Structure 1
Amino acid sequence: MDLYEHQARQLFAEHGVLVPPAEVTDSAEEARRIARRLGGPVVVKAQVKTGGRGKAGGVGLATDPAAAEDAARRILGMDIKGHMVRTVMLAQPVEIEAEFYVSYVLDRAAGTFLAIASAEGGMEIEEVAAARPEAVARIPVDPAEGVTTAVAARITEAAGLPAQCVDALVRLWAVLVREDAVLVEVNPLVRTAQGQILALDGKVTLDDNARFRQTRWATREATHDDPLEAEAAAKGLTYVKLDGEVGVIGNGAGLVMSTLDVVADCGARPADFLDIGGGASARTMADGLNVVLADPGVRSVLVNVFGGITACDAVADGIVRALDSVRPTKPIVVRLDGNNAARGRALLDERAHPLVRQAATMDDAAHQAARLALTADANAS
């Protein structure tokens, strides 16, 4: 099981390998806020489980929060070698003095592990290995001994790495052993102008035989067993089908998760997790409503939106336009709060769709949606 870069970096940090501060998002608007939190300039990186992101345009340096939003908007939705970009990671840039390559990999043929290292890391490491194989050191690692400080020193000497890399090599071996990995790769491992050794990129592959111990990394991939999940993925929506009767649509993963909990507290079951992200255009709302309403188990829909950079009147306009194309047959409860909420509510009142009702709070919206769903179930039975 391959991990995303941000997941690999999380493992590195847990084991004491230094990584620059970073955050992950699926929203261009949130990317602006993250860049502001990280200090302004950021590196925006597509999160896909394949190489060649830089050459494909999936990595870019943004000089300020506005540029970070633009870069995230450009990268999100890209197709990189058949992998759709649904999230980006924003990381603080560092002043690089030197780049290196290091990895540990299971050598199944030899029945041991192999340390591979080079003093010439970066995007062109494959070309370096092909053109000048002597520039890439390959050192067998005895699994019984592991990578001690002495072994790490031998690896750095063989590869021409500075002695400062010894501690990072020891800690990366701990990632491999303690996390059931068959591959741990850092490209590049860098020395900054301040003399720190940092992992700027990472790839970790976990042993599939240890999946039962790696449940926190269980993710739904681009291939979906459920046709609604496949349809949502094709439209770029973050959707997970659940076994309930209240369809849930919100903007932002945290808000959607909270909405699921509130619906459950009202005695109903959420039918899905659908995050439309920071922008709620008419097309996005129409796509989201189409997917949710296509679930035969859905008896009502709860749209819960908190307006931030995206104003609530824009969200309401999207809902109004979506109703023309969706033509709902099940009741929809809408809760709008935040930026321009009053104007958004007025827009929905002007439309006065018979199946759309509004609620002032998330609790009220959840109670209404739950009551409508449970009443419909009772009438059906």
Structure 2
Amino acid sequence: MDLYEYQAKELFGRHGIPVPAGRTAATPAEAREIAAGLGAPVVIKAQVKTGGRGKAGGIRPAAGPVAAEAEADRVIGMDIKGHIARRVLVEAATVPFEEYYAAFLVDRAEGGFLAMVSSQGGMEIEELAATDPDALVKLPIDPVTGVDADTAKLLAAKAGLPEQAAPVLEKLWRVLVAEDALLVEVNPLICTTDQRIVALDGKVTLDDNAAFRHGWDDYGERTDSLEDRARAKGLNYVKLDGTVGVIGNGAGLVMSTLDVVAGAGAGPANFLDIGGGASAQVMADGLEIILADPDVRSVLVNVFGGITACDAVANGIVTALELLGERGHRRPIVVRLDGNNAEVGRRILSDARHPAVRQVATMDGAAEMAARLAAGA
């Protein structure tokens, strides 16, 4: 789970890492009020989970409350690489004397942790690594010993950071460990004119598998998106940009189905894996989510029964269509059932005689029919 900048900085503050004073605003009027309370020039920063905010105009200085309101009005609602800025961080402007880069992350390739530190901050790390790889210090971190004061001093010295940066590096490591993070990154980490080390930005990725230890539901933005609604139902759903809704049991089968749909000349509208032991209720929940997507023109249900019994899938389809009522008649649903209890499942669908449901015996045939129906053929 990626955090917004303001959420990352809240974590930093809890671990004693200096950050600029600031609060988030959802309206220009709130931005003006926050700027007035800070009593200093501020920066208006779009809160989106992507990079390139500055180049897109999502980070704007404001000399005072009136300017803060005007700049927030420009930024709120801005589309930055497909991410809509629904709120801004209003933060006291901090002038850097020097800018650095610091990150700790899980190194999956080596099965451990990695520190990356540079005296050249403020630019994208990929660009830095390509143009001046020697400027980026990389140090594997022993999971047992971690980053103590001596290791932090070594990192700072090797990267050319001032000595006072070492305690901040040590605390950034503590954020990674204590918060079960996969990535903790500050770009830029700055030294001010009065020699203070401050995290001017923050990027944190948390390990979803550790959510039960932290109660991370508070980090979710309540946008009522299809992804949010699917997550609330425990579904593995990703929205795509096509017109054929796809449901399958097992990530491998769903990925294959996406390929087959594309091969039939249509674009899949989503990835939805109902899992290996899905119940009728899970099937009904999945179908409800997909039919709530206005981009979907047809639905392909592709299930190979193993742990998941095809009769449970068929009952789920029938149940979902009963609950949806008229909404369930608006788009055709192509169903391919094979494997465990497939004959029973097909009979359940045939007996239901729902006008939206078409049954096809093969995956290729089902994909071709779903593609034709999505195209209006």
Interval containing the TM-score (normalised by the shorter chain): 0.5 to 0.7
Distance change in 2, residues 1:216/1:208 (3 Å): closer
* Residues 285-321 of structure 1: per-residue CA shift (max 9 Å, x gap): xxxxxxxxxxxxxxxxxxxxxxxxxxxxxxxxxxxxx
In structure 2, how many angstroms separate the alpha carbons of the residues matched to 1:193 and 1:225? 44
In structure 2, the residue matched to 1:132 is: 132
Which residue is 1:29 aligned to? 29
Q: Distance in 2 between matches of 1:36 and 1:212?
A: 39
Moved more, 120-129 or 58-67: 120-129
Provide the C-alpha distance between the structure 1 equivalents of 2:50 and 2:95, rounded to a whole number of angstroms.
26
- Partner residue, 1:168: 168
Alignment partner, residue 19 of structure 2 = 19
Matched letter for residue 38 of structure 1: L
Task: Determine whether 1:4 maps to 2:4.
Answer: yes
2:82 matches 1:82: yes
- Residue by residue over 1:200-226, the C-alpha shift from the partner in whole angstroms, topping out at 9 and shown as x without a partner, is 000000011101123245444587466
Distance of aligned partners of 1:163 and 1:89 in 2 relative to their CA distance in 1, 3 Å threshold: same
The verdict on how the C-alpha distance between 1:25 and 1:223 changes in structure 2, with shifts beyond 3 A counting, is closer
**How many residue pairs end up in the alignment?**
230
Q: Distance in 1 between matches of 2:4 and 2:220?
A: 12
Ranges in structure 2 where 5+ consecutive residues have no aligned partner: 231-377
Over the matched positions of the two proteins, sequence identity in percent amounts to: 52
- Of structures 1 and 2, the larger Rg is shown by 2
Aligned partner letter, 2:33: R
Secondary structure in 2 aligned to 1:97? Answer: strand
Report the TM-score when normalising by structure 2: 0.58
1:126 positional shift:
3.1
Q: Is the 8 A contact 1:20 1:92 kept in 2?
A: yes
TM-score normalised per structure 1: 0.58
SS in 1 for 2:190: strand
| Deviating more after overlay: 212-221 vs 12-21 | 212-221
- Would the alpha carbon gap of residues 34 and 43 (structure 1) be closer, same or farther in structure 2, given more than 3 Å must change? same
CA separation of 1:70/1:164 partners in 2, compared to 1, >3 Å: closer, same or farther? same
- Cα distance in structure 1, aligned partners of 2:27 and 2:3: 21
Q: Distance in 1 between matches of 2:202 and 2:191?
A: 15
The DSSP-based 3-state class of the residue aligned with 2:74 is helix
Residue aligned with 1:77, SS: coil
Which residue identity is paired with 1:31?
A: A
Residue 134 of structure 1 deviates from its aligned partner by: 0.5
CA distance in 2, matches of 1:220, 1:183: 18
Query: Is the 1:36–1:65 contact (alpha carbons within 8 Å) kept by the matching residues of 2?
Result: yes
CA contact (8 A) 1:165 1:197 kept: yes
Partner of 1:211, secondary structure, is helix
Distance 1:85 1:164 in 2: 35
Amino acid at match of 1:149: A
CA distance in 2, matches of 1:19, 1:225: 31
Contact 1:3 1:217 in 2 (8 A): no
Q: Does 1:117 align with 2:117?
A: yes
Structure 1 portions without partners, runs of 5+: 231-381
The whole-number CA distance in structure 2 between the counterparts of 1:227 and 1:98 is 41
Do 2:222 and 2:228's aligned partners in 1 also have CA atoms closer than 8 Å? Answer: no
SS at match of 2:109: coil
Residue identity in the other structure for 1:123: M
Q: Residues 37-116 of structure 1 correspond to what in structure 2 (within 5 A)?
A: 37-116=37-116
- Shift of residue 159, structure 1, vs aligned partner: 1.1
For residue 208 of structure 1, what is the aligned residue in structure 2? 208
Give the letter aligned to residue 182 of structure 2: V
Distance 1:222 1:80, change over 3 A: farther
CA distance in 2 between counterparts of 1:37 and 1:159 reads 38
Amino acid in the other structure paired with 2:141: V
Does the aligned pair in 2 maintain the 1:18–1:199 contact within 8 Å?
yes
- State how 1:145-184 maps to structure 2 within 5 Å: 145-184=145-184
Matched-pair contact (CA < 8 Å) for 2:3–2:219? no
> Which amino acid counterpart does residue 89 of structure 1 have in structure 2?
L
Instruction: Write the distance in 2 (CA, Å) between the matches of 1:18 and 1:87.
Output: 22
What is the CA–CA distance in structure 1 between the aligned matches of 2:54 and 2:159, rounded to whole Å?
25
Retained in 1: the 8 A contact 2:4–2:203?
yes
* Preserved CA contact (<8 Å) 1:137 1:158: yes
- Cα distance in 1 for partners of 2:98, 2:143 equals 30
Q: 1:221 to 1:90 in 2, by over 3 A?
A: closer
Structure-1 separation of matches of 2:152 and 2:39: 35
CA RMSD, 1 decimal? 2.0
Is residue 7–residue 219 contact of structure 2 (8 Å, CA) maintained in 1? no
Distance 1:215 1:52, change over 3 A: same
SS in 2 for 1:106: strand
The answer for the alignment partner of 1:254 in structure 2 is none
Matches within 5 A, 1:177-326: 177-221=177-221, 224=224
Contact 2:40 2:93 in 1 (8 A): no
